[in-house]
Structure 1
Amino acid sequence: MAESAGPPATLVRRALEAAQRHRGRIATLERVGIVDFSKPSSTPRFHILDTATGRSSAILVAHGRGSDPEHSGWLERFSNVPRSQASSAGAYLTGDIYEGKHGHSRRLIGLDPGNSNAEARAIVIHAAAYVGDRIAREQGKIGRSEGCLAVSPGDIAHVLERLPAGFMIYADRT
């Protein structure tokens, strides 16, 4: 995980507006996760923004196969429909950690109409072997999830630690 230039100002603004709408549910805005799905999957696009300092780090994150049916590496569409295998846009509240088929994972609660089915769809943060720098270099893209925010096995512990339960993640494109 490297320091990044940060997420686009447009997404930061939208994330902070979402945080205001959902302020009763979010424990803190100390750090916010911002996923910039306007970038290709080969680019670190999951930013963890320290709101006090403005510093951020960015890592690779997969989008759903239903969002990129031809596997171009670019998110083409969002969906909140069950079994769509697509990524959803909007604000998420980070939930509890659990041990699942991908190891340590974190539940996500969709806060907006565009991701309100996140829990029912089992949209979570988890590690996946199909996400990594080597894959991005060799294939020009990383693998796709079923709508989850899948990160590399080397990044999952950092993400779970930096975005504990009660924090917010905002996913969208510019």
Structure 2
Amino acid sequence: MKFYTPHSLLPVLLLGLMGLGAGCQSAGGEVAAARQSATVAIPVSAPVVPPVPAVDSLASTPLAPLPNVSPELRAAVTELRARLGPEAAALRPEVLERACVGYLNLRQSGRISRPGILAIADMDLPSSEPRLWVLDLRAGQVLHRSPVAHGRGSGEGVQARRFSNTIKSACTALGFYRTQDTYRGKHGLSRRLRGLDAGHNDNALRRYVVLHSADYVSTAFMEQHGQAGNSRGCPALPPDQYRAIIGAVGEGGCLYLSGPGLESKWLDGAGAARRLAAQGWL
């Protein structure tokens, strides 16, 4: 039997690859082995992984329409939003609907006493935007629109990420508030706030959560930093607007701080519809 050296194996390999003399060396088996070792590997394509969509960290949390709102009440809120005009274009319809439902129920319960005035802050919007509106519901008019700060415990970036009612948390607390009396403190003219949602914001008076002025919500600060600064939990206001806003909401008014995850007993569509039918926006 003839044995092949590594150099003499090359012709056999070439013959094997070309398919010539396929069965000539069956007795020794070298050709079969050479064929096996010379098999050309075909690359297997990696599975195609679809790209992960980018997450917009400034996107607001979607809010489903309230389930128990009558067509009449929903139509009234839609008409109100249309009357408010361009100044309310950034006020999300779902937030306005919740604020109006809560306002009507609070009026019915006597928890708020200032008729027709509703202040709404959408704390799910970035602090770089004017996210506070003061509305005259009867006139269908935006009285004021301004930036508003959130607490540093809710996030020192442009977006509020967490909310808390806990004392010393420095967080914004979501829910419905009754505007209380005014006083002069270290921030000048300020208005106290009473939280009306148990477990969500009812520590507001104990936490000294108030409407007040702050330089970190000024136009100059926001132009320099691209966002408002942070409070210790207060919805702080721009120095050039705070007096007018504090005066417009008055004592006994309704302030709604909207944000993700808020559940409130005041969001009762059936009760709100009865109040609207009986008293309108008064």
TM-score after normalising by structure 2:
0.58
Q: Between the two structures, name the one with larger relative contact order (CA 8 Å, sep ≥ 6).
A: 1
Q: 1:64 aligns with which of 151, 158, 162?
A: 151
Q: Which moved more, 1:59-68 or 1:11-20?
A: 11-20
Deviation at 1:20, TM superposition (A): 3.2
How many residues get paired?
171
Distance 2:240 2:234 in 1: 17
Distance 1:104 1:39 in 2: 26
Structure with more strand by fraction: 1
Alignment of 1:33-72 (within 5 A): 33-56=119-142, 57-68=144-155, 71-72=156-157
Structural RMSD (CA): 1.6
Match of 2:252 in 1: 166
Q: Deviations over 1:36-93 (max 9, x none)?
A: 111111110011111123322310110000000xx21111011000000000100000
Distance 1:4 1:91 in 2: 20
Match of 1:105 in 2: 190
- Mark the runs of 5 or more structure 1 residues left unpaired by the alignment: none
SS in 2 for 1:106: strand
Structure with more helix by fraction: 2
SS in 2 for 1:136: helix
SS in 1 for 2:102: helix
Kindly report structure 1 stretches of 4+ aligned residues shifted beyond 3 Å.
none
Instruction: State whether residues 29 and 168 of structure 1, in contact with CA within 8 Å, keep that contact through their aligned partners in structure 2.
Output: no
Q: Deviations over 1:22-46 (max 9, x none)?
A: 2211113311100011111111001
Q: Deviations over 1:113-153 (max 9, x none)?
A: 21111011110000011111222222111110000010111
- Mark the runs of 5 or more structure 2 residues left unpaired by the alignment: 1-85, 261-282
Letter of the structure 2 residue corresponding to residue 150 of structure 1: A
* 1:94 maps onto 2:179 in alignment: yes
Deviation at 1:6, TM superposition (A): 5.5
Distance 1:78 1:21 in 2: 24
Alignment of 1:5-154 (within 5 A): 5=89, 7-23=91-107, 24-56=110-142, 57-68=144-155, 71-113=156-198, 114-154=200-240
Instruction: State whether residues 170 and 232 of structure 2, in contact with CA within 8 Å, keep that contact through their aligned partners in structure 1.
Output: yes
SS in 2 for 1:22: helix
Instruction: State whether residues 46 and 59 of structure 1, in contact with CA within 8 Å, keep that contact through their aligned partners in structure 2.
Output: yes
Which protein shows a greater Rg?
2
Deviation at 1:4, TM superposition (A): 4.3
Distance 1:63 1:173 in 2: 11
SS in 2 for 1:98: strand
